[in-house]
Amino acid sequence: METLIRKFKANNINAYMVENRQEAKALALSLIPHQAKIGMGNSLTLRETGIYDSLVSGAYDVIDQFEAGISPEENLKRRKQSLLTDVYLTGTSAITGNGELVNIDGKGNRVAAMMFGPDKVIVVAGKNKIVESEEAAWQRLRQKAAPALAKRLGRSTPCAQTGVCSDCNSPQRICRCYTVIRCQMPADNDRIHVIIVAEDLGL
């Protein structure tokens, strides 16, 4: 784990190791500057750690595209607004042993915000997201995580039935954008903060 933290730092990405979801939540919230405008990506990990509930508790200036009852137009507007926030919180699909963030996304707003826009990006990930290489990350995502997510979301995709990816062309396909963040510019070395939790979280 110490090697992984060093690899992240060499990539100008800050990384931290915490023991459990309670510590992850405390650290993530402590990294948010006072009065920051906050955006967030759809993440089971943010929900399982309690971070999502804290963000929408009323104590933070958060753009919540998940608020029940909002229209599709309002949802889209909030996703766009989230791209220009002070802080963006999200999970990640996978972390490689080289200190890289590998992601799949449906519409692309989450991975767009991770790459550019918000001044600070706080990524929270369970140890189950760590894989050896980028190749192993794609393997994990296509053969495990994406099918499990499609099933959880109730999508009519082949993988929701079979549990493996068939690179479908379904209208309900969940994985349309594939990204790898290998490193950040030296001047951006305070931008991405990755909190790795010694628990399994998310898919």
Which residues inside 102-161 make contact with ligand SF4, applying CB under 6 A?
142, 146-147, 150, 157-159
Cβ proximity of 195 and 18 under 8 Å: yes
Write the DSSP string, 4-65: HHHHHHHTT-EEEEESSHHHHHHHHHHTSPTT-EEEE---HHHHHTTHHHHHTSSSSEE--T
**Residue 155: CB minimum distance to ligand SF4, A:** 7
Q: What is the DSSP annotation of 80-111? A: HHHTT-SEEEE--SEEETTS-EEEEESSSHHH
Closer CB to ligand SF4, residue 14 or residue 157?
157
Identity of the residue, 9 or 152, whose beta carbon is nearer to ligand SF4 in the bound complex: 152
Q: Closest approach of Cβ 170 to ligand SF4, in Å?
A: 6
Whichever of 43 and 54 has its CB closer to ligand SF4, that residue is: 43
Q: For ligand SF4, which residue of 12, 98, 139, 170 counts as binding (CB under 6 A)? A: 170
Name the residues that contact ligand SF4, by CB under 6 A. Answer: 142, 146-147, 150, 157-159, 165-168, 170, 173-175
